[in-house]
Copies of this chain bind each other. A is one copy, B any other.
Amino acid sequence: MLHHSILQTLPPQLQKEAVESIQVMRFPPGKILFRAGEHCRGLPLMLSGAVKVQMTGASGNSIVLYRMGADDICTLSIGCLMTGYGYRAEAFVEEESEAAMVSRGLFDRLMDQSAAFRLGIMESYGRRLDDLMLLVEEVAFRRMDERLEEWLQVRRSPIHITHQELAVELGTAREVVSRLLKELERKGRVRLARGRIDVIKGV
């Protein structure tokens, strides 16, 4: 079955059509869903798993723009689907994921026939725009030590990640992350090991 909320709202006839036309794809961790420059073959509706979308600048540095999880829509693909331009970012599968791939034809049909589907798409776009606006603000103005601590706080220890990967999460350099982490370790806020960070519960 296709457990994606945007499909649940469709009238029976459309739902049947969707189920027939949609291909469910399964992606193992480490798989690249799409790369920068590639063309879009369909709109992925995330059924399960976790995918991070990141971009690499001219300098060669990368930054994670946002993540997608169950019930998300890969908004970025819509633009590529409609305009035919290539992706500007890259999507990396973090956890085993499933996605329902909606073809251009079906997408057009659903947009035409279902107000609820349209609403879902618009909301998804809105959220992504918001996310990116917040990210701009964050990158432009917030201090790296704060951002790092915040990032660490919202995960469950032990966190399995390298300093390099963490640098990409925050859009900074590996050395900066290493130094800040060392500082946190000195303060007793974290314990460090190769490829692993334990956040120590404070008061």
The chain B residue sitting closest to A81, CB to CB, is B122
How many subunits of this chain does the assembly comprise?
2
Chain B residues closer than 8 Å to A79, beta-carbon distance: 122-123, 125-127, 129-130
Stretch at the interface among A14-22, A112-120, A187-195: A112-120
Question: How many chain A residues have a CB neighbour from B under 8 Å?
Answer: 43
Q: Please report the C-alpha to C-alpha distance between residue A75 and residue B171 in the assembled complex, in whole angstroms.
A: 26
Interchain nearest-CB distance for A36 vs B (Å): 11
For A126-138 the 0/1 string (1 means CB < 8 A from B) is 1111101111111
The answer to whether A111 has its CB under 8 Å from any CB of chain B is yes
4 A-B pairs with least C-beta separation: A79-B126, A140-B171, A132-B132, A57-B137
25 A–B contacts from the bound complex (CB under 8 Å): A55-B133, A55-B136, A55-B137, A57-B137, A57-B142, A58-B137, A58-B141, A61-B141, A63-B136, A63-B141, A78-B122, A79-B125, A79-B127, A79-B130, A88-B133, A111-B115, A125-B129, A132-B133, A132-B136, A135-B136, A136-B136, A136-B139, A140-B171, A140-B172, A141-B171
